[in-house]
Amino acid sequence: MVKVGYIGLGIMGSAIARNLMKAGHQLVVHNRSRAIVEQLVSEGAAAAFSPREVAQQVEFVFTNLPDSPDVEQVALGPDGIIEGAHEGLIFIDNSTIKPEAARKIAAELGKAGVAALDAPVSGGDVGARNGTLTIMVGGAQDAFDRAAPLFAAMGRAWVLVGESGAGQIAKVCNQIIVGAQMAGLAEALITAQKAGVDPQRVVEAIKGGAAQMWALDVKPPRLFAGERGPGFKAYMQHKDLGIVLDTGKTYGIPLPLTAVVQQLYTAMLQNGQGEQDNSAIIGVYEMLAGMKLDEHKPDAT
């Protein structure tokens, strides 16, 4: 067991941190909001008051932060991880950020002798709590091998995709599909109900066929029960799709479907629904169709 730092203790980060502790690792935590730090300290973690202080004490330091500038500030800024660098330290970023930012951070930390892995995750709050995340990793093989026992505490699958930035490219691809799934699911449920057919029965009819997907298994029961809280917040899905489109510009990739899906999330944000789950994009379809999805227990029929 090793000493691990975790910085960024939101819905995903706090759940991952708890699973690392459950696996027997010693945890040092830091977060801008201190309430979650105090909770984790009561569960056995140690508190730190800066990224530098975390890095100085641990063998591995994780970050899970909202966007590229946040990770750059925590990793490379004043009182950042780079100021606590020491021999053997491995930096692992679970955030979803621009691939170019991941490469820049890895290069700068490398100058200080720190190996860096960009390791965004997929699986939502359920996967984070249950330790069943999928982890997409970019970086060096030896750092990946050293980190594997930690990934085992967090997820059920972890893959070294390539060099620095490759994990974030994989996450770009993941978010293209996730965004399309959420919009497609919303369209399907609204289509069923608007056409006079019970959408719950439609889900039961199609989820074992070619339409089967994680979103179809997980999201409808929450929507039918009227639960639209996160989960994975819609404003973060919108941010991730922005990264997808920026990556498309960088590499000259046409992404017409993603552009449309991001506009639907833009409408969500403008409607004040950014804090809701990404599946709550169905609210945009409800507005367009002039109807609300019926709320009832998933097993009511």
CA–CA dist 279, 230 (Å, integer): 9
Per residue in 200-254, pLDDT tens? 999 999 999 999 999 999 999 999 999 999 989 999 999 999 999 999 999 999 9
Amino acid at 191: T
Per residue in 37-96, pLDDT tens? 999 999 999 999 999 999 999 999 999 999 999 999 999 999 999 999 999 999 999 999
* Alpha-carbon distance values, 134 to 6, 113, 159, 179, 289 (Å): 18, 28, 8, 17, 35
**In a 3-state reduction of DSSP, which class is residue 63?**
strand
Amino acid at 62: F
Average of per-residue pLDDT values in the chain = 96
CA–CA dist 216, 208 (Å, integer): 10
CB within 8 A of 26, min separation 6: which ones? 1, 2, 3, 4, 46
Q: Which one-letter DSSP state was computed for residue 105?
A: H
Of residues 104, 171, 219, 239, which has the active-site annotation?
A: 171
Percent of the chain with pLDDT over 70: 98
**What CATH number has the domain spanning 169-289?**
1.10.1040.10
Omega prior to 231 cis, within 30 of 0: yes
Retrieve residue 107's tokens.
């290069």
DSSP calls for 5-56: EEE--SHHHHHHHHHHHHTT-EEEEE-SSHHHHHHHHHTT-EE-SSHHHHHH
CA–CA dist 148, 38 (Å, integer): 28
Do 3-163 and 169-289 come out as alike in CATH topology?
A: no
DSSP H helices, 165-255, are 166-194, 199-206, 214-224, 234-251
Q: What is the pTM of this model?
A: 0.93
pLDDT at 62: 98
Q: Does residue 111 carry a catalytic annotation? A: no
Contact 9, 54 (CB under 8 A): no
CA–CA dist 262, 242 (Å, integer): 7
Retrieve residue 149's tokens.
């026992």
CA–CA dist 133, 143 (Å, integer): 19
State whether the Cα torsion 280-286-292-294 is positive or negative: negative
pLDDT at 297: 54
Per residue in 241-286, pLDDT tens? 999 999 999 999 999 999 999 999 999 999 999 999 999 999 999 9
Q: Determine the average pLDDT of the residues in 183-196.
A: 97
Say which CATH superfamily domain 3-163 falls into: NAD(P)-binding Rossmann-like Domain (3.40.50.720)
Task: Of 172, 170, 115, 113, give the one whose Cα is nearest residue 137.
Answer: 170
Domain spans of the chain, in order of start: 3-163, 169-289
CA–CA dist 238, 266 (Å, integer): 7
